[in-house]
Amino acid sequence: MKVKRADVADIVKSGARLDAERSQDVLIQVVVEVDAPEAVVEGLRERLRPETARARLSIGVAGADETLVLDRAADALVVAGGSLGAETTRLLAQAREAFVPAVLLVVAPQEQHAAVTDATGHASADVLVDEDVERLLSKRLAGWLADEVPSKRMALARNFPFVRRSVAEAAVRATAWQNALIGTVGFIPGADMPVMTANQIKMLLQIAAAYGEPLGTERIKELLAVVGGGFAFRTLARQAVGVVPVLGWAVKGGIGYSGTLAMGKAAIAYFEAGADLPSVARRLRAASGSASRG
């Protein structure tokens, strides 16, 4: 079952849109309390180092002599907490009033999360408390940026490598749920498969964009040539529906979700290992074909 011509045009447009999204300007305001842990300061300095001129940082120190002002044009405010002084609390309140996404990073046992939230008045989801600085920055801050600044996900991934995995994982989760819904509500046997396949290809493009892969028309055509009639999980879905006809809608929804999720996780692993877009598609197709035969 081939990807429809209309879907091919839509996929090419998706590639162009992703290319434009990762070329957007992005501004992050970084505020460090004067007594913030040195490991957090160094970790932010290492990770928030823009790779293009389209990304900028606005940096200030809270608790020094100067009075800090919220940059209302910022896409996000990142605060490295120390003693959580009045200036930090005021700046976070300004961010909430201005609807600027703002995150507070605190190195402490997670049991202190509620106390930090109460002390600052900041939203619980926007307060990240962790004793492990590496986890706090590379996983939790990266995940927060991907979730809370969705309009600039691709630009963030383009400029800050530590965010790439979280941006790619967000794309995988969204596509998996889309395919689960499509598989669940599809009433015409087989009609949902081209849509699922198109969604999977778009997901691969999103992951590729997050990892800085070229997304020109020729590269997308090469991807489509590799994908061909789609991935093998559609065959598994048909077989499962035949075995359990009464619950077929639920089975197809579950396979639409789990199959897409597995594919996305594998693609991320391949990209992180240095593979390019066509070779990732070839590996996925080979792996899915082996799974369907097994």
CA distances in angstroms from 24 to 77, 193, 207, 293, listed in the order given: 18, 33, 17, 44
Confidence of residue 65 (pLDDT cuts 50, 70, 90): confident
191-234 pLDDT, tens per residue? Answer: 456 677 788 888 999 999 999 998 888 888 877 777 654 444 44
141-151 pLDDT, tens per residue? Answer: 999 999 999 99
The residues near 254 (Cβ < 8 Å, ≥ 6 apart) are 180, 183
The residues near 148 (Cβ < 8 Å, ≥ 6 apart) are 76, 101, 103, 126
pLDDT at 236 over 50: no
Which region among 221-230, 241-250, 274-283 has the lowest average model confidence (pLDDT)? Answer: 241-250
Task: Say if domain 26-159 classifies as CATH 1.10.600.
Answer: no
Report yes or no: 156 and 26 within 8 Å, Cβ to Cβ. yes
Mean per-residue pLDDT for 165-182? 90
User: What pLDDT, on the 0 to 100 scale, is given for residue 192?
Assistant: 54
Q: Copy the structure tokens of residue 189.
A: 């046997």
Q: What is the residue whose two structure tokens read 């040195």?
A: 38
Domain boundaries, the chain: 26-159, 162-293
Confidence of residue 3 (pLDDT cuts 50, 70, 90): low
User: What pLDDT, on the 0 to 100 scale, is given for residue 128?
Assistant: 98
| Spatial separation of the C-alpha atoms in residues 202 and 11, rounded to whole Å | 6
User: What pLDDT, on the 0 to 100 scale, is given for residue 280?
Assistant: 86
Q: In what order do the strands lie in the sheet with 76-80?
A: 55-62, 26-33, 76-80, 102-107, 127-130
pLDDT higher for 198 or 107? 107
Report yes or no: 204 and 267 within 8 Å, Cβ to Cβ. yes
pLDDT at 247 over 90: no
17-57 pLDDT, tens per residue? Answer: 999 999 999 999 999 999 999 999 999 999 999 999 999 99
| Spatial separation of the C-alpha atoms in residues 52 and 189, rounded to whole Å | 47
Q: What is the residue whose two structure tokens read 């395919």?
A: 179
91-106 pLDDT, tens per residue? Answer: 999 999 999 999 999 9
